[in-house]
């Protein structure tokens, strides 16, 4: 009884596949442990108050009181409490516009403004700018 060659090859293939499926797997080495946690904090130390001569208290100058003007509210109600530098910027903007409305606001500002820096900007704007009417 001789078995044909293809039948022997098929039987050998079945045996090899059976061994490959049911044979115990090799033990693999465990992967290295990787931690994504931050490093440990240093040990806490007890708090102690600073030495008395470690800090020198300097005298703090009192801020100058802000002088307010009511003419800035003619432009925007939120601008009523702006600083002198802000009022100078408003004077420059009104001088750039150079309309009768801006001229009226600058005249009101000249009568109402207490700050000398802003008054100088107002005088320069009223002297140097030629205000045009909107009808031309």
**Going by C-beta distance under 8 Å and a sequence separation of 6 or more, which residues neighbour residue 113?**
69, 71, 87, 119, 122
Q: What pLDDT sits at residue 136?
A: 45
CA-to-CA distance for 68 and 82, rounded, in angstroms? 7
Least confident of 44-48, 52-56, 66-70, 126-130: 52-56
**Looking at residues 118-128, what average pLDDT do you find?**
91
Question: CB within 8 A of 69, min separation 6: which ones?
Answer: 80, 87, 109, 112, 113, 114, 115, 118
Backbone torsions φ then ψ of 31, nearest 5 degrees:
-65, 150
pTM of the model: 0.48
Distance CA 89, CA 71 (A): 13
Domain boundaries, the chain: 71-128
Chain-centre distance for alpha carbon 15 = 71
27-58 confidence digits (pLDDT tens): 788 877 887 888 888 888 888 776 765 555 56
The mean per-residue pLDDT over the stretch 3-12 comes to 86
């Amino acid at each position: 009884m001789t078995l044909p060659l293809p039948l022997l090859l098929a039987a050998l293939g079945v045996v090899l596949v059976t061994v490959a499926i049911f044979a115990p797997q090799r033990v693999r080495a465990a992967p290295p442990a990787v931690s994504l946690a931050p490093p440990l904090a240093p040990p806490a130390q007890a708090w102690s108050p600073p030495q008395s001569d470690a800090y020198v208290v300097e005298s703090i100058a009192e801020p100058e009181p802000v002088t307010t003007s009511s003419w800035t509210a003619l432009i925007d109600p939120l601008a009523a409490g702006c600083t002198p530098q802000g009022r100078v910027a408003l004077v420059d903007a009104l001088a750039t516009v150079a309309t009768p409305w801006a001229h009226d606001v600058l005249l009101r500002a000249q009568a109402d403004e207490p700050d000398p820096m802003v008054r100088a900007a107002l005088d320069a704007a009223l002297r140097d700018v030629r205000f045009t009417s909107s009808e031309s």
